Structure formats: structure tokens, C-alpha cells
Amino acid sequence: MILLVKAIYLVTAAVLITALVVGGVAYYLLRPTPSAEANVVEIYHWWTSGGEAKAINALVDVFKAKYPDVAVIQSPVAGGAGYVFQAVIKPLVLAGEAPDAFQMHAGYEGKPYYDGGYLDSITSLWNDQKWANVIPKVVQDMVKFGNEYYAVPVNIHRVNVVWYNKAVLTNKGIDPNTLTTWDAFFAACDKLKTAGVASPIALGDSGAWAATHVLEQIIASEGIDFYQSWVNGKVTSATDAKLLDALTKFKTYLSYVNTDHSALTWDQAIAKVIKGDAAFSVMGDWANGEFYVANKVYGTDYGTFPVPGTEGMYGLVIDCFQHPKGVKHPENSLNWLKVVGSKAGQDAFNPIKGSISARTDADTTKYGAYQKAAIADFKAATHMFPSVTHGSGAPPTFAAKLNDIMSNFVTNKDVNAAAAALTQATKDASADYTTVWSL
Ligand code: BGC
């Protein structure tokens, strides 16, 4: 009897222990996986140059201070203007694998995601945060589809800027204030060449977009009406006089650039200006971030002026983040957006990035001399225009062809062929010009 009880006891104990072990193993195996459970926010962007990386880290630091329990996973994809990034992010979004938020330009760039139903409306977040009170209407309109908000702007960049090395110009007797026309600008380039500056203009167009960027500014210099027609898909004649003139000017521009331009990135071109190997470079004001990390002083070491013929115009590039549908960490994604749109976040990011805050209540004491001037120019601008090179102004179906057309042009300098290709691309995309810009 005792033996029987003992046996029953042992069997019961064994069953219990087995159950505990099996239960424990099952619990371990079936527990939520760390990646689903972990308190993280994953963001994708293309900010990898010296100034860009420092700026996004400053924004992440603001987030970390506010949400210390959340780890920020940055997935940067190198390649200026996102020319590599776009090819990486699109398949992820379309496969339902979007990160918690990703860098995106305001305007047309988000349209395919909106059309495909890949983005959540964040109108209620905009209302909670009262962003409409502090973000200019021109910017708000560029992050809306239908009547809803779909993105949060972190900045306003300016595209129509010439960067110059002050010592190079001073040494050769060139006054940058006089370079308000293309004739004056090219005459200055000639003077520099004669004085021994082999390549007065620095260009770094690996990925082609930096060449497209320059052509876009020359198109703007043909006048706001022409630019407006261009972004509204109305420049469809290959013999359009202004288009041919813009391409001809770009051809002249290319005759002054460094021979290794297609092997260099945009920031390597800016480094040439910083060093004094070149006098000028046309680039968006993310270039200011490179001068910033090189400890150069605006007004002393370097300066800027509007691209000739674009005085009073402000070419817009606006970086944003959004809330993709079905993200792994929806709450952290929303909190990331809150920081992106916040005064503290923007005033940490933009002074390094070179852009101005997308908010009118920025603490301007935190911004350097270049940006103080940009803030004044933004307020006084007679016309603002959306960049096509940087995703905002024209449909992606058109924009996607631009870099190839420009890369051919930079090689063959064939004005008529480029005009034909550009206008054909506009015609091919005619159904996609859904925004009517009034600039
Ligand atoms: C982005 C900037 C970025 C630049 C160069 C632009 O398209 O808007 O934020 O710094 O590309 O990478």
C-alpha cells in the first residue's frame, strides 16, 4: 500500500514537473518575439553626409530625452536626395513592411503611397498638436492629400542657392553682390579661369540628381511663369524658347565644372568650395551643414547669393515623416512624429541641417547667420516654387525620368535632344499632373 502511494506520488510529481518544464518551454517558445515586443521606433532616411548625420542625431536626441524607454533604430541609406533610398523604401512599403516612419519629400512624392492606401491620415495628430497655427499654409498644402494631413514637415530647405568661397573671390577681385545675372556669373567664371582656377564651379553629380538640381534652378531663372508652366506639365514643345535657353545656359555652366564631377557626391563638391579648390557650387542649403561641421563661418569664410535670375524666389524642399499603415510600433511612430513637428525637435535639427524650421515660432537665436538670412528671405519671398528634383513639384512618373535625361545631357551636351526628351517625358506623364500650382 505504502509502495503504491509512493509510486502514485512519484508519478504525480513527475507529471507535474514535466508539465512545468513543457509549459515553461512552450511559454518561452510562444512568448512575443523581442522585435515585436521591443520598445523601439525604426526610422529610415538618407541623411549620411557629415552635416546630415549630425542633424538627425540631434533630432533623435530630443526624442530620446522625451521617450527614454524607446530605442531609436536609424536605417540610413546613403545617396544624396534619396536617389538610392527611393528604390529601397518603395518595395518595403508596397510589401507592407514599412518602417515606423521614413523620410519623404512633401508634395507629389507621397502621392503613390496615398493613392495605394499605404498611409494613415494624421489629421487628428495635427489638430492635437495645433500645428496649423504655426506651420505656413504653403507648407501645409504640400503635406495634404484630399483634405487630410498625411505627413509632418521637419524643415524648409531652399534650393536656389549659390555657395561661394569668400577668399577665392576676394583674391581674384570678384564681388559676389554683382553676380545677379548669368552673364555676370559666367564672366566671373572666365575671370577665375584666367586667374588659374581650373574649375571655378564644383559639381558632384554621381547619381545625376545634382545636375538635375542645377538645371531646375536655371529653369526657375527663366521666370516664375515659365517654372509654373513646367511644373504644371505645360512645357510640351521641344522648341520652347525658354526651355532651349535654360539648357543652353546649363551647357555653358557645365563648361566650368570639375572634370571628375560624375565620380563625386554633392558633399564632395561642397568640400571643394570649402577648401578653395573651386569658387562656386549651386546646391540646396543642406550644403550649410557641411560648412557647419567644417567650422566655417558664414560671411567670413563663405557666403551665398540666390541663383542668378532668382532673386526674391525661394525654391522649396521640405523633408517630412509620415505614419505608414500597419507599422510595428504605431504609438512610437506617432510619438516620433510629435517630436519631428515640435519646436524643440526642429530647433535642434535645423540649425545643423542648414534648413529653416517649418514652424514660424522657431527660436531664431539658435540659428546661424546663413539661416537668419534665409528666414528673412523666406518671409520676404515674392514667389515660392516646389522642387522637382526633390520630389515635390511634378509627378513621380516624370521625375523618375529626369535624372537619366540629365545624365545623358551632361555627357553629350545635346540641347535639342534633351529638350525633346524632357517634353516627351512631360507628355508621357500628362495624366499624372493632378496638382495645379499657382506660384
Ligand atoms: C533632402 C535633404 C538632403 C539632400 C541631400 C534632399 O532631397 O531634402 O534633406 O540633405 O537631399 O541628401
Mean pLDDT of the region 4-23: 40
Evaluate if residue 31 carries a pLDDT over 60.
no
Ligand 1 site-directed mutation target among 44, 46, 48, 155, most atoms within 8 Å of CB: 46
Residue 70, helix vs strand vs coil? coil
Quote the DSSP letter at residue 107: S
Specify the pLDDT at position 373: 98
Evaluate if residue 4 carries a pLDDT over 80.
no
Identify which has the larger pLDDT, 377 or 13: 377
Residue minimizing CA distance to atom 9 of ligand 1:
319
The angle formed by the CA atoms of residues 166, 170 and 175, to the nearest 5 degrees, is 90
Q: How far apart are CA 258 and CA 137, in angstroms?
A: 40
Contact call for residues 102 and 45 (beta carbons, < 8 A): yes
Q: Which atom of ligand 1 is nearest to the CA of 391?
A: 7
**Which bin fits 411, alpha (ψ -120 to 50), beta or left (φ > 0)?**
alpha
Whether 52 lines ligand 1, by a CB cut-off of 6 Å, is yes
Q: What is the pTM of this model?
A: 0.91
Quote the mean pLDDT of the chain: 93
Contact call for residues 100 and 335 (beta carbons, < 8 A): no
Ligand 1 site-directed mutation target among 286, 288, 389, most atoms within 8 Å of CB: 286
Ligand 1 center to residue 286 CA distance, Å?
7
Ligand 1 site-directed mutation target among 47, 267, 357, 389, most atoms within 8 Å of CB: 47
Evaluate if residue 439 carries a pLDDT over 70.
yes
Task: Write out the DSSP string of 407-426.
Answer: HHHHHH--HHHHHHHHHHHH
Whether 289 lines ligand 1, by a CB cut-off of 6 Å, is no
pLDDT tens per residue across span 179-220: 999 999 999 999 999 999 999 999 999 999 999 999 999 999
Whether 157 lines ligand 1, by a CB cut-off of 6 Å, is yes
Distance of CA 111 to the CA centre of its chain: 16
pLDDT tens per residue across span 325-365: 999 999 999 999 999 999 999 999 999 999 999 999 999 99
Would you place residue 37 in the very low, low, confident or very high pLDDT band (cuts 50, 70, 90)?
Answer: low
